[in-house]
Structure 1
């Protein structure tokens, strides 16, 4: 009977050790889980900050690109503008002469060589 009693005491102590180890492990797990949550929240915050920074940089780059585009394409020289204006005026002047020919309703306009004869 004494052996059962001593065995019972030994098992009870062992049970207490196991329960205390379990409690300690649970506390460590809770602490680690809390640390992981804090780290995850910190990473999310860092990602949001990086996203905002990248968006701001992208807007700055687009503004710089637009500014450079206006610098690259300077206004044409007045002589070039004058020549372009004269060219388009002569084209508009010749359109009525060529319109009927291009529609297939008339022969070549006067002053233009017939390509079929050539």
Structure 2
């Protein structure tokens, strides 16, 4: 009977230890669950902030695109139009002079100075040295 009593006391102690360990584990699980909830909340806040930031960036990009496209449709400054018109008139005026030369049927037009090969090599050597 004494051995049964000793065994009963030992089992009661082991039962108390198991309950104590269970209590500690439950508390750790609750703490872990609270940490996970906090982490999830922080992730949701970060995702929401990122979404708002991305939306704002997208709106800024679209506004910039609209401004650029509106700028494309604007007429250039009158001075630029005048210079372009004069340039193309000059090109059209000199086409007949150069046409036969470019087709390989005539000599270079008057006013065009052909460089000698030595002058060409010297001028290219100077340009190369400057780089």
| TM-score relative to the length of structure 2 | 0.64
Q: CA deviation at 1:113?
A: 4.3
1:43 equivalent in structure 2: 42
Gaps of 5+ in 1: none
Shift of 1:116: 5.4
Q: Counterparts of 2:64 and 2:77 in 1: how far apart (Å)?
A: 24
**Helix, strand or coil for the counterpart of 2:106?**
coil
Shift of residue 80 of structure 1?
A: 2.8
Taking the aligned partners of 2:48 and 2:16, their CA distance within structure 1 comes to 48
| Gapped regions of structure 2 (runs ≥ 5) | 117-131
Give, in whole Å, the separation in 1 of the partners of 2:42 and 2:115: 78
Report the CA distance between 1:56 and its aligned residue: 1.9
For the residues of structure 1 that align with 2:13 and 2:85, how far apart are their CA atoms?
A: 104
Could you tell me which residue of structure 2 aligns to residue 52 of structure 1? 51
1:96 to partner: Cα distance: 3.4
Rounded to whole Å, the distance in 2 between the matches of 1:10 and 1:113 is 120
Deviation (angstroms), 1:40: 3.0
- Would you say 1:90 and 2:90 are equivalent positions? yes
Change (3 A) 1:96 1:36: farther
Alpha-carbon distance between aligned partners in 2 of 1:63 and 1:116, rounded to the nearest angstrom: 53
Distance 1:90 1:35, change over 3 A: same
TM-score (norm 1): 0.70
Aligned counterparts of 1:39 and 1:116: Cα–Cα separation in 2: 80
Aligned length, in residue pairs: 113
SS of equivalent to 2:107: coil
Would you say 1:32 and 2:3 are equivalent positions? no
